A = this chain, B = another copy of it.
Amino acid sequence: MRVFGEFIREICVYPHPIFPKGAMFNLLPQGSVSSPAGFTAVAIPTGLKKDKQLDLALVYSERDCACAAVFTTNQVVAAPVIVDRETLAMNNTAIRAVVANAKNANACTGEPGLASARETQRLTAVALDIRPDQVLLLSTGVIGVQLPMDKIRAGVETAGAILQRKEAKEQREERGREAAQAIMTTDTRPKHLAVAVELPGGVVTIGGMAKGAGMIHPNMATMLAVITTDARIAPDVLQTMLGTAVHHSFNRISVDGDTSTNDTVLLLANGVSGTAVADAHSHTLFTDALAFVCTELAKMIVKDGEGATKFVEIQVTGAATDADAHAIANTIATSPLVKTAFAGSDPNWGRILAAAGRAGIPFNQNETSLWVNIPGAKRRQLVAQGTPTDYQEVDAAHIFAQPEFQVKLQVGMGMGTAVVWTCDLSQEYVSINADYRT
């Protein structure tokens, strides 16, 4: 077991409620949803994507899983979200499989789309010899087009057949990574990892995969994540843990309530390790590791944002409440003018203050201070108490030209703080999104 204290400090440059210094777990960067015991994954090409690219992923547990989920808060929800909500309302203790397809979101497809989702659930159950209410669905891709059920039907059958095979551990790990590849849309790289956590009762593993791209921020590029663990955890505890982890990770890259028609995070716990997360100490260790997995996946999503060339951490301090700080940080992080300034390496910090000022949160502009820095390096103050400092333009420009930098805005003397992660808005982003369907 290695101690990742340094690493954790680095990813958590700002005091973070989730990661106490010295949290202990073993990072498995090549890990995936199939790393935890008892989970298998398979990915196949169904023809939804061109050129036989992987586009359908199946995650399967040999035992019943407790399941927690966080869904989009959009008023317009895709058919798979409707079906998953229904399914989990009936059964959150015996989930066995998640089937995910890329290229078609099955959103805004009305009754026919809902029928297709239910049919996918039924077909998967038949292929895996389980009940339909043990299958969850994920879809991502274009909105408003009916799911081509012939491709889905053949795909699910093929995937089910592959899952029957007995395969070596390496092969299984590889398939887990392929699943992360299958759910990609405009993502340029698969997003997956796993961690092993030493609990008092034994070692458990948490694996995860995600897809994002889009600018994520304030828009509805779909964010999907599947997290698996072989720990044994009660569903209600699991839901609380996931809620906390999502709040400090995926919600830091997407405005609260400001989500796509399909956004979904699923957490499945099958208990195959035999180790339970029951006592308070295990609970803390597991929650830390889960938050780490979610944060890493969230940051992978931002770094792989459409056309992104910069990864910027926005810290807001001194607000009345954390929620106020979060609102201000989100407004900065989603401002096209701020994001284009990042793209142009232009230290046009006035745009940062102006964005903060329209977040709807009262503060006194004469109490605002602004710093920027390269991670690990000394902060440079650009604004002190509402007035520009005598900083050198060349120094500020140097920081804004980095692929990663941090912005800290203090808006007063309150205790409210927040950190969010964002990327720049480049011409490439426009190009990708203007031509998405063509």
Interface residues, chain A, with chain B CB atoms under 8 Å away? 73-77, 105, 107-112, 142-146, 214-215, 218-221, 257-261, 335-337, 340-341, 343-344, 346, 348-351, 353-363, 365-366, 368, 383, 385-388, 425-427, 429-431, 433-438
Q: A143-B354, A344-B438, A348-B436 are in contact. List 10 more A-B contacts (CB 8 A).
A: A75-B362, A107-B350, A108-B383, A143-B348, A143-B350, A144-B348, A220-B358, A257-B360, A346-B435, A429-B430
Q: Are B427 and A354 in contact (CB under 8 A)?
A: no
With a CB–CB cut-off of 8 A, which chain B residues contact A340?
A: 429-430, 433-434
> Closest Cβ of chain B: how far from A381's Cβ, in Å?
13
The A interface, classified by DSSP as helix, strand, loop or mixed, is loop
**Looking at the complex, which one of B73, B143, B219, B349 makes contact with A335 (CB distance below 8 Å)?**
B219
Q: Are A110 and B144 in contact (CB under 8 A)?
A: no
**Looking at the complex, which one of B75, B260, B383, B385 makes contact with A361 (CB distance below 8 Å)?**
B75
Q: Are B350 and A388 in contact (CB under 8 A)?
A: no
Q: Are A110 and B387 in contact (CB under 8 A)?
A: yes
Q: Are A336 and B336 in contact (CB under 8 A)?
A: yes
With a CB–CB cut-off of 8 A, which chain B residues contact A218?
A: 335-336
> Closest Cβ of chain B: how far from A165's Cβ, in Å?
38
Residue of B nearest to A434 (CB): B344
Residue of B nearest to A393 (CB): B437
Residue of B nearest to A426 (CB): B430
Q: Are B430 and A425 in contact (CB under 8 A)?
A: yes
Q: Are A387 and B74 in contact (CB under 8 A)?
A: no
CA–CA, A358 and B353, complex, Å: 25
With a CB–CB cut-off of 8 A, which chain B residues contact A349?
A: 108, 143-144
Q: How many copies does the complex hold?
A: 2
22 pairs of residues in contact across A and B, judged by CB atoms under 8 Å: A75-B359, A76-B354, A105-B350, A107-B354, A108-B386, A110-B387, A110-B388, A144-B388, A215-B336, A215-B337, A219-B335, A219-B355, A220-B357, A261-B353, A340-B430, A344-B435, A344-B436, A346-B434, A348-B436, A426-B430, A427-B431, A427-B434
Q: Are B386 and A343 in contact (CB under 8 A)?
A: no
Using known A-B contacts A365-B76, A427-B427, determine if residue A350 contacts B108 with beta carbons closer than 8 Å: yes
Q: Which of A112, A143, A348, A351 has the most CB of B within 10 A?
A: A351
Q: Are B350 and A142 in contact (CB under 8 A)?
A: yes
**Nearest 9 CB-CB pairs, A to B?**
A143-B350, A110-B387, A344-B434, A76-B357, A340-B433, A144-B350, A75-B357, A74-B357, A220-B354
Residue of B nearest to A113 (CB): B387
CA–CA, A110 and B438, complex, Å: 49
CA–CA, A76 and B437, complex, Å: 40
Residue of B nearest to A76 (CB): B357
Q: Which of A214, A340, A429 has the most CB of B within 10 A?
A: A340
With a CB–CB cut-off of 8 A, which chain B residues contact A358?
A: 73-75, 220, 257-260
